[in-house]
Chain A
Amino acid sequence: MSFRSQMLAAGTVVGVLALAPVQAQDAVKIGLILPMTGGQASTGKQIDNAVKLYMQQKGDTVAGRKIEIILKDDGAVPDNTKRLAQELIVNDKVSFIAGFGVTPAALAAAPLATQAKIPEIVMAAGTSIITERSPYIVRTSFTLAQSSTIIGDWAAKNGIKKVATLTSDYAPGNDALNFFKQNFTAGGGEIVEEVKVPLANPDFAPFLQRMKDAKPDAVFVFVPAGHGGNFMKQYAERGLDKAGIKVIGPGDVMDDDLLNGMGDAALGAVTAHLYSAAHPSAMNKEFVAAYKKAFNSRPGFMAVGGYDGIHLIYEALKKTGGKTDGDALIGAMKGMKWESPRGPISIDPETRDVVQNIYVRKVEKVDGELYNVEFATFEAVKDSGKTKK
């Protein structure tokens, strides 16, 4: 070879060697798409806080690579979600898209996750079909099926014969209603009144009046995170608690974020859910204390979904040694088990959905504040809402 070609060859080799370690130390970018404005803003805030807290506690480097979070606000509008996800994938070259405060947002991003082969970590949305929309979706939040079936069973076994239902008219609300009905009626219960309220509803009073007139033993309620307080206030105002009508449902309505402001009317409500700030584990006590110290409020189930989501990402990266190949990451996430502030949780290798304990709990006053106190545990509940094959 001539001298020039030798130099060129040497130069190329040196150049490549010089570039290689720089590439391996590129940050891993995570696109966090959350509703930071609009009606679901409290969900977005909780998840953002939880992710920040986790990174504060565990550092921002995993398997030799730095983690960079790119936060985007989609206002819970699915076309924004889709556009933001597309831009994050194409322009910012993220290795994960995460967050998704509402079901339509998670569904809108699904085809993108599949096309780009990027893991989509759902930290909040709760409809069963979400994980079926793409083989790259992994969920760390919950499904309405998990909590509604449990409370349906519990109600039937505990002397509640007649139930009136009030659910928001959208996918999670319908999931909650259907799964509750399924289990409750199977246990011998009767639904005496069924009301679906539009999602953007300021005044529950007329609907609650209807419930009262139907004279049930209990009211099964599902409203999105953030609306529970209004419901409970009007429940009390209408005198439903004095009429002996109990409140039951999936835990969304007794979200820890709002629980303390609801007043004594909430006492005695029984719900089934994945998380309570009063969960008596050492890890949870630490988590709640750290969250309170950093953000001056109580963490709710949305925060836990975010906390576990970022944990999942960290652990998956550790398992793949820092490689961001989508298929390898999904493979690493399947079957992963760990201890979360909510209790033990794992990712079902078949459905990529979260498997967790569901607790039945009652609202009680502890140290002058309202908490959901757990009194029964159902272990390793899988989502029963998947399409039957």
Chain B
Amino acid sequence: MTTLFTILFDGVAYGMLLFVLACGLAVTLGLMNFVNLAHGAFAMTGGYVCAVLVNQSGWPFFAALPLAFVASAVIGVALERSLYRHLYTRSHLDQVLFSVGLVFMSVAAVDYIMGSSRIFIKLPSALEGQFDFFGVGIGRYRLMIVVICGMLTVALQLILAKTRFGSRLRAAVDDPRAALGLGINVPQVFAFTFAFGCGLAGLGGALSAEILGLDPYFPLKFMIYFLIVVTVGGSSSITGPFLASLLLGIGDVAGKYYVPKLGPFVIYTIMIVILIWRPNGLFGRAATR
């Protein structure tokens, strides 16, 4: 019985990590209708920034995390203003080609600068190992992930629901033309949200170095998982991807534990079944454009 709770806890931690990584993608897709397959590259950037700060410059881990967010967000803003902006009106295929090109460039660049081996971030000793909670082994690092990602999710929901920016964002997602007509500066909302999404990805990347492993091929390896979260969850809200990530995280971990021979089967089958049943994702709505 305690094993079940351990598995559940692990699955939740994994799922929340996936959520932080993928929610930026969900927002970009839902809001800007832009297929940004380079999302993983922003995550990788954040991860490497954190690694370099902690390993080589001796920063404490918790101080480096916000910087991972900022670094990715800044790069996101720079790229958005210079390159992405020109592609908003282009076809999805063009966007795919462009973002894949960016991924290739980032992968090779990181390989060149940092080398091809997996990189590890020196953790503070408070985060290593497990502690016992009524017989259930709780990994300290995973607990931290759950806490941080949980807070982020709550914060995001609050921003969306309670702030003026949040309502502008929701309006722009639902119907950009009407929003423009109402005087909402949609391009500015786009830019800010895109940067924020990239920042979140960067933070996720830094957090995932320990669990998923960080190397130059990270964007290519995990692109699939992000896409799964976004399509299964639907891109019109945050709750959709959140629940989808949890489902996928728990499904994957439980699958690997109870039926290790069929490991990856579980996620893919769940995904296909859900998509057949609900083509717009669990909580998505058909696009209004």
Contact = CB atoms under 8 A, between A and B. Distances in A.
Touching in the complex, A and B, CB below 8 A? yes
Interface of A: 37-39, 41-42, 44-45, 195-198, 200-203, 205-207, 209-210, 212-213, 226-227, 229-230, 233-234, 236-239, 242, 257-258, 261-263, 265, 297
A297 B118 contact: no
A239 B222 CA distance: 27
Given A198-B263, A263-B122, 12 more contacts: A38-B217, A39-B217, A41-B216, A42-B116, A202-B212, A202-B222, A206-B260, A237-B139, A237-B140, A237-B141, A237-B210, A239-B139
Contacts of B256: 203, 206-207
B117 A203 contact: no
Given A41-B116, A229-B118, A239-B129, A206 B257 contact: yes
A198 B261 CA distance: 9
A239 B137 contact: yes
Sort A-B residue pairs by CB-CB distance and give the 10 closest, nearest first: A41-B116, A206-B256, A239-B130, A206-B257, A261-B120, A230-B213, A42-B117, A42-B116, A202-B212, A206-B253
A248 to B, nearest CB: 21
B129 A236 contact: yes
Contacts of A210: 257, 260
Contact of A238 (B14, B117, B130, B253): B130
B228 interface: no
Interface string B197-220: 000000000000011110011000
A233 B141 CA distance: 11
A279 B46 CA distance: 37
Contacts of A197: 260, 263
Contacts of A45: 115-116
B221 A202 contact: yes
Interface string B107-126: 01001000111111011000
B158 to A, nearest CB: 31
Given A206-B7, A209-B257, A239-B137, A230 B252 contact: no
B117 A258 contact: yes
Contacts of B253: 203, 205-206
A262 to B, nearest CB: 7
A209 B3 contact: yes
Contact of B118 (A195, A201, A230): A230
A234 B123 CA distance: 13
B128 interface: yes
Query: Majority SS of interface residues in chain A?
Result: helix
Contacts of B137: 212, 238-239
B39 interface: no
Nearest to A195: B260
A37 B111 CA distance: 9
Interface residues of B, number: 41
A242 B122 contact: no
A203 B129 contact: no
B260 A238 contact: no
A61 to B, nearest CB: 31
B16 to A, nearest CB: 14
B135 interface: no
21 contacts: A38-B217, A41-B111, A44-B116, A196-B261, A200-B221, A205-B14, A206-B253, A206-B255, A207-B256, A209-B6, A226-B117, A226-B118, A227-B213, A236-B128, A237-B141, A237-B142, A242-B129, A263-B122, A263-B128, A265-B128, A297-B115
Contacts of A39: 217
B187 interface: no
B264 interface: yes
B116 A263 contact: no
Contacts of A209: 3, 6-7, 10, 257
Nearest to A202: B212
Nearest to A166: B260
Contact of B10 (A201, A202, A206): A206
Contacts of B119: 261
A216 to B, nearest CB: 16
B212 A233 contact: no
Interface in B46-103: none
Contact of B252 (A203, A213, A233): A203
Contacts of A237: 128-130, 139-142, 210
Nearest to A40: B116
Question: Could you say which of B14, B118, B142, B252 has the most chain A C-beta atoms within 10 Å of its C-beta?
Answer: B118
A227 B116 CA distance: 12
Contacts of B130: 237-239, 242
B204 to A, nearest CB: 14
